[in-house]
Amino acid sequence: MHISRFQELISQKYKKRDQQRGVSATFLWFVEEVGELATALAKDDRQNKPEEFADVMAWLCTLANITGVDLEEACMQKYVNSKVEGSK
């Protein structure tokens, strides 16, 4: 599945509710999911890691959707079409 397809799927399921929640509250949910992923990584929780990665990706798509960012395009511009090698 392409990033754009996943972002669209998340939009179709959740965008109305996500817009009502707003950027600040949605960002807090995203950070909470990142924290859960950090815990799974720290504990090497092989059963929970895939779910937490998926949750982080879904909440990142949610943030992109409500702020008008096309994640696939952003990734292409930053990492595929960029001529900068080894930055940061």
In a domain, 16, yes or no: no
pLDDT in tens, 32-42: 999 999 999 99
pLDDT at 81: 87
pLDDT at 2: 94
- Enter the tokens of residue 85: 């090698």
DSSP state letter for 81? S
pLDDT at 82: 75
Q: Which stretches of the chain drop beneath a pLDDT of 50?
A: none
CA dihedral 70→26→1→39, nearest 10 degrees, is 130
pLDDT in tens, 47-60: 999 999 999 999 99
Instruction: Look at the pTM and tell me if it is higher than 0.85.
Output: yes
Residue 84 backbone zone (phi > 0: left; psi -120 to 50: alpha; other: beta): beta
- Enter the tokens of residue 47: 């059963």
Question: Where in the sequence is the domain holding 35, given as residue range(s)?
Answer: 24-69
CATH code, domain carrying 42: 1.10.287.1080
Please give the tally of structural domains in the chain. 1
